[in-house]
Amino acid sequence: MSGSDIFSLLFLINDNLQHQLKLLYDYWFTQFDFPDENGKPYRASSGAMVWNAELQREIPLGWECKSLGDLLIKNNDSFDYNGIEPTIDLSVMPSASISLQKLNSSDQFTTNLFIMHEGDILFGSIRPYLKKAGIAPCDGVVAGTVHSYRVKLEQDYNFALFTLCRDSFFDYALTVSTGTKMPVVSSDSILSYKIPYSPKVVALFNRTNIRDIICRNVREANSLSSLRNWLLPMLMNGQATISD
C-alpha cells in the first residue's frame, strides 16, 4: 500500500467512525432507542416516557434536562506569543468533519489566540451554517473565532462532541447568532443549549475513545504528508532513488 493510500485510509477511518457515532447518537439520544436492561431498544420496546417542560418534549423516565454548560468549560487561557505554535482557525477547519488535519501557525496572528490542548472540542463561531466543529488534533493555540471547550467529566466527552456537531445544533446556532452577513454565535448561547441526559447511557456512549483514535490518525497522516513533501523534491532532482 502506498503512502497516499495509507493517508486516504486514515481519513476514511475517521469519517466512517464519525458517521457511525452520529447514527448511534441519533438512535440513543433523539429516538431514545438505547439498549434497555434486556438489550432491546428502549422506546421501541414501550419504555416509559415522561413529559419534560424545559425541553418541551417527552424523554425516558429517569432522564433529566441539562445544558451544555453543565458539561463543558470554555477555554480562555490567552497565548503569550513566546514561540511558534500550531494553530487552528476557521480557514483550516473543514465543514461537516470532526477530523481537523490542517494547521496554521501562530506567527500568522498578532492577537486573539488562546491555548489549545489535544482533544479540546472546537466550534466555529462565525457562519455556523458552514458546520465547522471538531477535535483539536494537537497541543497549540486556537483563534478567537473558534470556541474551544473541555469536558468537566470524561464520560461526557463523546456526548458533548456529537451534540455540537449535529445538523440540528448548527441550525440552533444559526438561529441564536447575531449579524446578517456574518452571523456569529456566542459561547453563552452554545452553553445554554438544553439536552436530555442520562449519565448511564452517556457513559455507555463514551466507550469508543474517538478522541484518541481521531488524533492518532491525524498525527500519522500529517507525518506521512511531511515525509512525502520532503522526499518528493529529492526524487525529482535525483538526490534520492527508489530501488525495485
Euclidean distance between the first and the last CA atom of the chain, given in angstroms as a whole number: 15
Q: SS3 letters for the chain?
A: CCHHHHHHHHHHHHHHHHHHHHHHHHHHHHCCCCECCCCCECHHHCCCEEEECCCCEEEECCCEEEEHHHHEEECCCECCCCCCCEEECHHHCCCCCCECCCCEEHHHCCCCEEEECCCCEEEECECHHHCCEEECCCCEEEECCEEEEEECCHHHHHHHHHHHCCHHHHHHHHHCCECCCCCECCHHHHHCCEEEECHHHHHHHCCCCHHHHHHHHHHHHHHHHHHHHHHHHHHHCCCCCCCC
Determine the pLDDT at residue 227: 43
Q: How far apart are CA 145 and CA 124, in angstroms?
A: 6
Residue 113 in this model has a pLDDT that exceeds 50: yes
**For residue range 174-222, what is the model confidence (pLDDT) as tens digits?**
999 999 899 999 999 999 999 999 999 999 999 999 999 999 988 887 6
pTM, 2 dp: 0.89
Lowest mean pLDDT among 60-64, 95-99, 125-129, 239-243: 239-243
CATH superfamily of 69-205: DNA methylase specificity domains (3.90.220.20)
Cell digits for 29? 439520544
Handedness of CA 28, 32, 36, 41 (dihedral sign): negative
Residue 5 in this model has a pLDDT that exceeds 80: no
**For residue range 231-240, what is the model confidence (pLDDT) as tens digits?**
455 545 655 4
Cell digits for 162? 456529537
Nearest to 148 by CA among 169, 132, 130: 132
